[in-house]
Amino acid sequence: MIDNDGNRRGEFDWQCVVGAFDMRPEDYLATEPLLGLRPSQTFLYGSVRDSEGNIWTPMRRVLSGDGGHEKLLLQSNVDSDAMHVNRAGKHSATGFGVRRSVVDDAFHLDSDPSVDGQPFRVRVTSDTLTWVEAGVLELSGAAVKPALHWHLPDRTKGMYYASQIFEVEGTLLGREVSGFIPVDQIYMNGVIYEDDIFIGDQAELVWYTWATRYLDGGFQGGHFLLGHRRMGFGVVYDETGVVVATSEVNGEITLDGIGPWPARIDLTVDGKAWEFIPDERGRMVDLMPIPNPQIEGRWREVSNSREPAHWFAWGEIASGHGTSRRTLAR
Protein backbone atom coordinates (compact mmCIF):
# COMPACT_ATOMS: atom_id res chain seq x y z
CA MET A 1 0.00 0.00 0.00
CA ILE A 2 1.24 3.51 -0.85
CA ASP A 3 0.04 6.38 1.30
CA ASN A 4 -0.50 9.68 -0.53
CA ASP A 5 1.69 11.25 2.16
CA GLY A 6 0.96 14.80 1.07
CA ASN A 7 2.27 14.52 -2.48
CA ARG A 8 1.11 16.84 -5.22
CA ARG A 9 0.74 16.01 -8.88
CA GLY A 10 4.17 15.21 -10.30
CA GLU A 11 5.65 14.25 -6.91
CA PHE A 12 6.63 10.66 -6.09
CA ASP A 13 7.64 10.83 -2.43
CA TRP A 14 11.33 11.21 -3.38
CA GLN A 15 11.46 7.71 -4.88
CA CYS A 16 14.22 7.16 -7.44
CA VAL A 17 14.54 5.05 -10.58
CA VAL A 18 17.94 3.31 -10.87
CA GLY A 19 19.74 1.13 -13.39
CA ALA A 20 22.70 0.63 -15.72
CA PHE A 21 23.55 1.79 -19.24
CA ASP A 22 26.33 1.96 -21.84
CA MET A 23 28.12 5.31 -21.74
CA ARG A 24 29.29 6.74 -25.06
CA PRO A 25 31.83 9.57 -25.58
CA GLU A 26 29.21 11.92 -27.02
CA ASP A 27 27.17 11.54 -23.81
CA TYR A 28 29.77 13.61 -21.97
CA LEU A 29 29.15 16.68 -24.13
CA ALA A 30 25.99 17.23 -22.08
CA THR A 31 24.61 20.16 -24.09
CA GLU A 32 20.96 19.16 -24.43
CA PRO A 33 18.30 18.69 -21.71
CA LEU A 34 17.51 15.14 -20.66
CA LEU A 35 14.29 14.06 -18.94
CA GLY A 36 13.34 17.73 -18.85
CA LEU A 37 16.48 18.62 -16.87
CA ARG A 38 19.35 20.85 -17.95
CA PRO A 39 23.02 19.77 -17.89
CA SER A 40 24.45 21.12 -14.65
CA GLN A 41 27.92 19.76 -13.82
CA THR A 42 30.52 17.18 -14.78
CA PHE A 43 32.65 15.70 -11.99
CA LEU A 44 35.98 13.89 -12.12
CA TYR A 45 36.84 12.68 -8.65
CA GLY A 46 37.82 9.65 -6.63
CA SER A 47 40.54 8.17 -4.48
CA VAL A 48 43.96 6.74 -5.25
CA ARG A 49 46.56 5.40 -2.85
CA ASP A 50 50.33 5.48 -2.95
CA SER A 51 52.75 2.71 -1.94
CA GLU A 52 52.64 3.89 1.69
CA GLY A 53 48.85 3.61 1.84
CA ASN A 54 48.22 7.36 1.86
CA ILE A 55 44.93 8.47 0.32
CA TRP A 56 44.84 11.15 -2.38
CA THR A 57 41.45 12.48 -3.52
CA PRO A 58 41.57 14.68 -6.64
CA MET A 59 38.35 16.34 -7.73
CA ARG A 60 37.51 18.69 -10.57
CA ARG A 61 34.01 20.07 -11.07
CA VAL A 62 33.21 21.65 -14.43
CA LEU A 63 29.96 23.56 -14.68
CA SER A 64 27.86 23.40 -17.81
CA GLY A 65 28.17 26.38 -20.12
CA ASP A 66 31.28 28.44 -19.32
CA GLY A 67 32.85 25.78 -17.09
CA GLY A 68 32.91 27.86 -13.91
CA HIS A 69 35.83 29.18 -11.91
CA GLU A 70 36.72 26.19 -9.74
CA LYS A 71 40.23 24.75 -9.73
CA LEU A 72 41.48 21.26 -8.98
CA LEU A 73 40.65 20.27 -5.41
CA LEU A 74 43.32 17.86 -4.15
CA GLN A 75 43.24 16.37 -0.65
CA SER A 76 45.54 13.92 1.09
CA ASN A 77 46.22 12.44 4.53
CA VAL A 78 50.01 12.34 4.12
CA ASP A 79 51.62 12.99 7.54
CA SER A 80 48.20 13.55 9.10
CA ASP A 81 45.35 11.76 10.82
CA ALA A 82 42.81 13.36 8.45
CA MET A 83 42.39 14.55 4.88
CA HIS A 84 43.66 18.05 4.14
CA VAL A 85 43.65 20.24 1.05
CA ASN A 86 46.97 20.12 -0.79
CA ARG A 87 48.30 23.46 -2.08
CA ALA A 88 49.13 21.99 -5.50
CA GLY A 89 45.56 22.51 -6.66
CA LYS A 90 45.84 26.29 -6.14
CA HIS A 91 48.18 26.53 -9.12
CA SER A 92 45.83 24.74 -11.53
CA ALA A 93 43.74 26.39 -14.22
CA THR A 94 40.08 27.04 -13.53
CA GLY A 95 37.37 25.46 -15.65
CA PHE A 96 36.35 28.82 -17.12
CA GLY A 97 36.23 28.70 -20.91
CA VAL A 98 36.68 24.92 -20.92
CA ARG A 99 36.73 23.35 -24.39
CA ARG A 100 34.55 20.30 -25.00
CA SER A 101 34.57 18.14 -28.12
CA VAL A 102 34.36 14.59 -29.41
CA VAL A 103 37.28 13.65 -31.69
CA ASP A 104 38.13 10.16 -32.96
CA ASP A 105 35.58 8.50 -30.64
CA ALA A 106 36.95 10.28 -27.57
CA PHE A 107 35.45 13.04 -25.46
CA HIS A 108 37.95 15.88 -25.00
CA LEU A 109 37.81 18.24 -22.03
CA ASP A 110 40.58 20.85 -22.14
CA SER A 111 41.32 23.98 -20.16
CA ASP A 112 41.27 27.26 -22.03
CA PRO A 113 44.90 28.11 -22.98
CA SER A 114 44.26 31.77 -22.12
CA VAL A 115 43.34 30.96 -18.50
CA ASP A 116 46.07 31.40 -15.88
CA GLY A 117 47.37 28.33 -14.11
CA GLN A 118 48.58 24.87 -15.01
CA PRO A 119 46.39 23.35 -17.74
CA PHE A 120 44.33 20.19 -17.51
CA ARG A 121 43.41 17.62 -20.15
CA VAL A 122 40.82 14.84 -20.02
CA ARG A 123 40.19 12.13 -22.63
CA VAL A 124 37.31 9.67 -22.22
CA THR A 125 36.35 6.89 -24.62
CA SER A 126 33.83 4.12 -24.12
CA ASP A 127 36.63 2.09 -22.55
CA THR A 128 39.35 4.38 -21.21
CA LEU A 129 40.09 7.53 -19.20
CA THR A 130 43.15 9.77 -19.24
CA TRP A 131 43.27 12.70 -16.81
CA VAL A 132 46.25 15.06 -16.72
CA GLU A 133 46.64 18.05 -14.41
CA ALA A 134 49.99 19.54 -15.44
CA GLY A 135 52.58 19.30 -12.71
CA VAL A 136 50.24 17.41 -10.38
CA LEU A 137 48.79 14.17 -11.72
CA GLU A 138 48.67 11.85 -14.70
CA LEU A 139 46.12 9.07 -14.35
CA SER A 140 44.83 6.59 -16.90
CA GLY A 141 42.85 3.39 -16.86
CA ALA A 142 39.92 1.31 -18.04
CA ALA A 143 36.20 1.64 -17.53
CA VAL A 144 34.71 -0.90 -15.13
CA LYS A 145 31.48 -1.38 -17.03
CA PRO A 146 28.61 -0.81 -17.13
CA ALA A 147 27.87 2.81 -16.31
CA LEU A 148 25.19 3.44 -13.66
CA HIS A 149 22.45 6.04 -13.54
CA TRP A 150 19.52 7.17 -11.45
CA HIS A 151 16.66 9.63 -11.72
CA LEU A 152 14.93 11.49 -8.91
CA PRO A 153 11.68 12.86 -10.37
CA ASP A 154 10.20 15.97 -8.80
CA ARG A 155 8.04 18.86 -9.93
CA THR A 156 10.77 21.48 -9.35
CA LYS A 157 13.93 19.83 -7.94
CA GLY A 158 14.38 16.71 -10.03
CA MET A 159 17.82 15.22 -10.74
CA TYR A 160 19.36 12.82 -13.23
CA TYR A 161 22.77 11.37 -12.39
CA ALA A 162 25.04 9.32 -14.68
CA SER A 163 28.32 7.74 -13.59
CA GLN A 164 31.11 5.62 -15.10
CA ILE A 165 33.77 4.26 -12.75
CA PHE A 166 37.34 3.87 -14.08
CA GLU A 167 40.12 1.82 -12.49
CA VAL A 168 43.29 3.89 -12.84
CA GLU A 169 46.98 4.09 -12.09
CA GLY A 170 49.66 6.68 -12.68
CA THR A 171 51.54 9.38 -10.82
CA LEU A 172 50.49 12.11 -8.41
CA LEU A 173 53.09 14.64 -7.27
CA GLY A 174 55.76 12.12 -8.22
CA ARG A 175 54.22 9.18 -6.34
CA GLU A 176 53.00 6.01 -8.02
CA VAL A 177 49.30 5.63 -7.25
CA SER A 178 46.34 3.42 -8.13
CA GLY A 179 42.63 3.46 -7.40
CA PHE A 180 39.32 4.51 -8.88
CA ILE A 181 38.10 7.68 -10.62
CA PRO A 182 34.44 8.04 -11.61
CA VAL A 183 33.35 10.54 -14.24
CA ASP A 184 29.87 11.72 -13.30
CA GLN A 185 27.29 14.04 -14.79
CA ILE A 186 24.40 15.78 -13.05
CA TYR A 187 21.33 17.12 -14.83
CA MET A 188 19.18 19.46 -12.74
CA ASN A 189 17.80 22.97 -12.63
CA GLY A 190 20.65 24.57 -10.71
CA VAL A 191 23.65 23.05 -8.94
CA ILE A 192 24.01 20.31 -6.36
CA TYR A 193 23.75 21.27 -2.66
CA GLU A 194 22.24 24.63 -3.55
CA ASP A 195 19.11 23.84 -5.56
CA ASP A 196 18.45 20.21 -4.67
CA ILE A 197 16.20 18.12 -2.44
CA PHE A 198 19.15 16.54 -0.63
CA ILE A 199 20.20 19.61 1.35
CA GLY A 200 17.46 22.12 0.49
CA ASP A 201 14.69 19.84 1.76
CA GLN A 202 16.90 17.99 4.26
CA ALA A 203 16.08 14.69 2.55
CA GLU A 204 19.52 13.07 2.47
CA LEU A 205 21.07 10.81 5.11
CA VAL A 206 23.77 8.83 3.24
CA TRP A 207 25.16 9.15 -0.30
CA TYR A 208 28.18 7.21 -1.60
CA THR A 209 29.86 6.14 -4.81
CA TRP A 210 32.29 3.29 -4.20
CA ALA A 211 34.32 0.44 -5.73
CA THR A 212 36.51 -2.40 -4.47
CA ARG A 213 38.93 -4.63 -6.37
CA TYR A 214 39.68 -7.84 -4.47
CA LEU A 215 42.93 -9.79 -4.31
CA ASP A 216 41.26 -12.69 -6.13
CA GLY A 217 40.50 -10.39 -9.08
CA GLY A 218 36.83 -9.94 -8.24
CA PHE A 219 35.14 -6.56 -8.15
CA GLN A 220 32.17 -4.85 -6.57
CA GLY A 221 31.08 -1.25 -7.03
CA GLY A 222 28.08 0.98 -7.15
CA HIS A 223 26.05 3.74 -5.56
CA PHE A 224 24.14 3.88 -2.29
CA LEU A 225 21.62 6.54 -1.30
CA LEU A 226 19.48 6.65 1.84
CA GLY A 227 17.14 9.45 2.78
CA HIS A 228 13.77 10.26 4.24
CA ARG A 229 10.38 9.20 2.97
CA ARG A 230 11.00 6.87 -0.01
CA MET A 231 14.39 8.29 -0.96
CA GLY A 232 16.91 5.52 -1.25
CA PHE A 233 18.44 3.02 -3.63
CA GLY A 234 21.28 0.61 -4.10
CA VAL A 235 22.82 -0.18 -7.47
CA VAL A 236 25.65 -2.70 -7.23
CA TYR A 237 27.59 -4.58 -9.89
CA ASP A 238 30.44 -7.07 -10.10
CA GLU A 239 33.29 -8.09 -12.41
CA THR A 240 30.88 -9.99 -14.68
CA GLY A 241 28.75 -6.89 -15.28
CA VAL A 242 25.77 -8.29 -13.40
CA VAL A 243 23.83 -5.37 -11.89
CA VAL A 244 21.43 -5.38 -8.95
CA ALA A 245 19.33 -2.21 -8.79
CA THR A 246 16.76 -1.71 -6.07
CA SER A 247 14.89 0.95 -4.13
CA GLU A 248 14.45 -1.51 -1.24
CA VAL A 249 16.98 0.16 1.05
CA ASN A 250 16.99 0.98 4.74
CA GLY A 251 19.64 1.61 7.32
CA GLU A 252 21.12 3.62 10.13
CA ILE A 253 24.12 5.86 10.85
CA THR A 254 26.06 5.36 14.07
CA LEU A 255 27.96 8.52 15.01
CA ASP A 256 31.35 8.40 16.70
CA GLY A 257 30.15 10.48 19.65
CA ILE A 258 32.68 13.24 19.03
CA GLY A 259 31.37 15.17 16.02
CA PRO A 260 29.32 14.77 12.85
CA TRP A 261 31.35 11.76 11.65
CA PRO A 262 30.15 8.18 11.34
CA ALA A 263 31.62 5.36 13.38
CA ARG A 264 29.84 3.07 10.92
CA ILE A 265 26.92 2.96 8.52
CA ASP A 266 24.66 -0.06 8.20
CA LEU A 267 22.42 -0.57 5.18
CA THR A 268 20.06 -3.31 4.11
CA VAL A 269 20.00 -3.37 0.31
CA ASP A 270 17.57 -5.74 -1.36
CA GLY A 271 17.64 -7.89 1.76
CA LYS A 272 21.44 -8.01 2.06
CA ALA A 273 23.46 -6.40 4.86
CA TRP A 274 26.16 -3.88 3.97
CA GLU A 275 28.45 -1.87 6.20
CA PHE A 276 30.60 1.21 5.71
CA ILE A 277 33.97 1.06 7.47
CA PRO A 278 35.37 4.60 7.79
CA ASP A 279 39.07 5.07 7.15
CA GLU A 280 40.73 6.22 10.37
CA ARG A 281 42.40 9.02 8.41
CA GLY A 282 39.60 9.60 5.89
CA ARG A 283 37.81 12.64 7.32
CA MET A 284 37.85 15.58 4.92
CA VAL A 285 38.16 18.14 7.67
CA ASP A 286 39.20 21.12 5.55
CA LEU A 287 35.81 21.06 3.78
CA MET A 288 34.02 21.75 7.06
CA PRO A 289 31.74 23.24 8.17
CA ILE A 290 29.22 21.76 5.74
CA PRO A 291 25.91 19.95 6.42
CA ASN A 292 27.15 16.79 4.69
CA PRO A 293 30.59 15.80 6.07
CA GLN A 294 32.67 13.83 3.56
CA ILE A 295 34.69 10.79 4.66
CA GLU A 296 36.60 8.08 2.82
CA GLY A 297 36.41 4.40 3.74
CA ARG A 298 35.25 1.07 2.38
CA TRP A 299 31.85 -0.48 1.71
CA ARG A 300 31.62 -4.20 2.41
CA GLU A 301 28.85 -6.74 2.07
CA VAL A 302 28.77 -8.23 5.54
CA SER A 303 28.79 -11.78 4.20
CA ASN A 304 31.79 -11.08 1.95
CA SER A 305 35.11 -12.06 3.54
CA ARG A 306 37.32 -11.48 0.48
CA GLU A 307 40.43 -9.37 1.00
CA PRO A 308 40.53 -6.05 -0.88
CA ALA A 309 43.43 -5.05 -3.11
CA HIS A 310 42.42 -1.42 -3.55
CA TRP A 311 39.23 0.51 -3.10
CA PHE A 312 37.52 3.85 -2.78
CA ALA A 313 34.32 5.08 -1.17
CA TRP A 314 33.88 8.82 -1.39
CA GLY A 315 30.65 10.04 0.06
CA GLU A 316 28.88 11.71 2.89
CA ILE A 317 26.37 11.62 5.67
CA ALA A 318 23.98 14.39 6.68
CA SER A 319 23.45 13.59 10.34
CA GLY A 320 21.82 16.96 10.90
CA HIS A 321 18.89 15.50 8.98
CA GLY A 322 18.81 12.48 11.30
CA THR A 323 20.50 9.10 11.58
CA SER A 324 17.65 6.90 10.36
CA ARG A 325 14.85 7.20 7.84
CA ARG A 326 11.60 9.06 8.56
CA THR A 327 8.72 7.93 6.38
CA LEU A 328 6.32 10.73 7.37
CA ALA A 329 5.54 13.67 5.10
CA ARG A 330 7.62 16.80 5.16
Average pLDDT over residues 108-124: 98
What is the side-by-side order of every strand in the sheet holding 219-227? 243-246, 232-238, 219-227, 204-214, 308-317, 294-301, 272-283, 262-269, 249-255
What's the pLDDT band for 214 if we cut at 50, 70, 90?
Answer: very high
Task: Please provide the average confidence, as pLDDT, over all residues in the chain.
Answer: 94
Average pLDDT over residues 2-24: 81
**Is residue 121 scored above 60 in pLDDT?**
yes
> What distance in Å separates the CA atoms of residue 16 and residue 225, rounded to the nearest whole number?
10
Tens digits of residue pLDDT in 281-326: 999 999 999 999 999 999 999 999 999 999 999 999 999 999 999 9
Q: Percent of the chain having pLDDT more than 90?
A: 90
Average pLDDT over residues 179-198: 94
Tens digits of residue pLDDT in 230-266: 999 999 999 999 999 999 999 999 999 888 999 999 9
Average pLDDT over residues 35-44: 96
pLDDT for res 7: 73
pLDDT for res 8: 76
The CA–CA distances, whole Å, from 166 to 229, 254, 283, 312, 323 equal: 32, 30, 23, 11, 31
pLDDT for res 327: 82
What's the pLDDT band for 328 if we cut at 50, 70, 90?
Answer: low
> What distance in Å separates the CA atoms of residue 71 and residue 77, rounded to the nearest whole number?
20
**Is residue 161 scored above 90 in pLDDT?**
yes
**Is residue 329 scored above 60 in pLDDT?**
no
Average pLDDT over residues 167-193: 96
pLDDT for res 195: 87
Pick 314 or 2 by higher pLDDT. 314
**Is residue 1 scored above 70 in pLDDT?**
no
